Amino acid sequence: MHAGFEEVCAKAAAEARNAGHPVLALWREEIERVEPLLPSAPSRSTFFWSSGDLTVLAMDRAIAFPAEGRNRFAEVRQAWERAARTMVSGGPGDRATPALVGAFSFGEGPGSLMWVPRVLVAQRAHGPATLCLAARADPVHGVEDDAARTAWRAVSWLAGTVVRPCPPLPVTGAAIEELPTAEEWKAMVARAVGHIEAGRFSKVVLARRLRVRLPYPPDLGGLLHTLVGAQPGTTVFAAGTGTRTFAGATPERLVAVRGGWAETMSLAATLPRGSTGGDDARLRAELLGDAKCRREQAIVTDMLRGALSEVCHEVEAPDEPEVLDLPHVRHLHSRVRGRIADPETTGVLDLVERLHPTPAVGGHPRAEALGWLRAAERFDRGWYAGPIGWVNADHEGDFAVALRSALLDGSVATLFAGCGIVAGSDPERELAETWLKFRPMLSALLNDQGGPR
């Protein structure tokens, strides 16, 4: 590892001097599995991803691509294309391994940040792991960090990840504040329904926050370990910069690209799980037969099908939705996939830009719903409901919609939850739905899997 990475760094430094611009050095190799693959302590930049059979853990930055504004997706895509085109890579590891990680803000404000980690480990459910080491070579100063030091830090960091988190104890003394208050938020829902009935838009997704003041800062590795165990069927994620980390367990994929195919998910409508088998079956049938829920989910499916049809052949979407059962809630969902017409010009970041925000997190029609939403919510969503994920050197990757999440800042956690408002939405029922969506993260933070209410 050490010698091979050092050689790649030396080649990148020479390329940078000759070209007159920075060059990325990337080394990949297989290593033994790391169990559990969880952050032992936050670094300057921490990224975690656990979805299906893939787990990714990364730390620190070799190169960062911040962006903001309407063109934030295009700016990052173009920067990554330039970096990947001139990159010097080596090693026997899998080229499909993630190389660029991070998250985009929901709106056009600052906060979007994708980066190439200095150290990244990716492993599937079976087989070895892949270790990636990266460095930035400057045309004047050469490689910013010594290759041997980066390799040593990787080994030290991996040694720390094999410490399994201790069983958590229930947290007492937490203070919880609703933002906005329940009555204020129900009034907003009623106003949204009024605009829908007046024909301004057909759907809008309203979010609210829960500020939780804990007696001590949560342990990130322990929190993620809890979410992975308690929320099967979701993507558990964390992205941290400095002292702040955004983490969650989302059921919704935005888009994945692999082998020339793009796949997305239409997810909408929410009902709780039943306390008995009979009750659960009744609620399942109720969700499938609910005209309002079907209408809400169909809006999302139609938008995704149309968006993929513009760049894909053979777009597939089922005529009827299925029920996605999660530990506390269930949703209507449909898989939508298509064969990309021109993989050379359409990568995963192109589709992220095309799809975000879907009607599942913004509204429909998009411009009218988002215009009203900006004035109504009166807070910056930040990374909540934005795309979070990874990209490889071939512009394939996987992005989720950052839901069921919290921003962790010291001993304060700000949780987010939203509801799709359509004609016929009842403010009281929508409020109850936000508590269902707060429950996974709140239970994990308080180490109380019984939930708050």
Query: What is the per-residue pLDDT across 254-302, written as a single tens digit (0 to 9) for each?
Result: 999 999 999 999 999 999 999 999 999 999 999 999 999 999 999 999 9
Share of the chain above pLDDT 90, in %: 85
Per-residue pLDDT band at 343 (split at 50, 70, 90): very high
Please report the pLDDT score of residue 177 as a whole number: 98
Sole residue written with tokens 């290593």? 31
pLDDT bucket at 127, cuts 50 / 70 / 90: confident
| Residue 396 near residue 237 (C-beta atoms within 8 A) | no
Contact 403, 433 (CB under 8 A): no
- For the stretch 289-341, pLDDT in tens is 999 999 999 999 999 999 999 999 999 999 999 999 999 999 999 999 999 99
Average pLDDT score over the chain: 94
Q: Mean pLDDT across the stretch 238-246?
A: 90
H-helix segments, 121-219: 147-161, 182-197
Task: Give the pLDDT of residue 41.
Answer: 65
Which residue among 203, 296, 377, 396 is the active-site one? 203
pLDDT bracket for residue 42 (50, 70, 90): low
Would you call 322 a catalytic residue per the annotation? no
Contacts of 239 (CB under 8 A, 6+ apart): 46, 47, 48, 101, 102, 103, 245, 246, 247, 383, 388
Q: Is 292 a catalytic residue?
A: no
pLDDT (0 to 100) of residue 452: 39
Q: Which of 15, 252, 296, 377 is catalytic?
A: 252
Peptide bond into 357 cis (omega under 30): yes
Sign of the Cα torsion 320, 338, 236, 434 reads negative
pLDDT tens for 129-175 read: 999 999 999 999 999 777 888 888 888 888 877 777 777 788 999 99
How far apart are alpha carbons 216 and 118 in whole angstroms?
30
pLDDT of residue 148: 82
In the numeric block, which tokens belong to residue 23? 């060059």
CA 127 to chain centre: 25
Residue range 413-422: average pLDDT? 97
Whether the predicted pLDDT of 451 surpasses 50: no
Q: Identify the pLDDT of residue 388.
A: 98
- The predicted model gives 18-27 an average pLDDT of 97
* Calpha distance 309→341 (Å, rounded): 10
Question: How far is Cα 369 from Cα 362, in angstroms, rounded to an integer?
Answer: 7
* Percentage helix, strand, coil for the chain under 3-state DSSP, each rounded to 5: 30, 35, 35
pTM of the full structure: 0.96
Q: Residue 126: what pLDDT? A: 85
Report, as an integer, the average pLDDT of 208-219.
96
When pLDDT is averaged across residues 204-211 and rounded to a whole number, the result is 98
Separation between Cα atoms, residue 332 and residue 310, nearest integer Å = 25
Query: Mapping DSSP to helix (H, G, I), strand (E, B) and coil, where does residue 199 land?
Result: coil
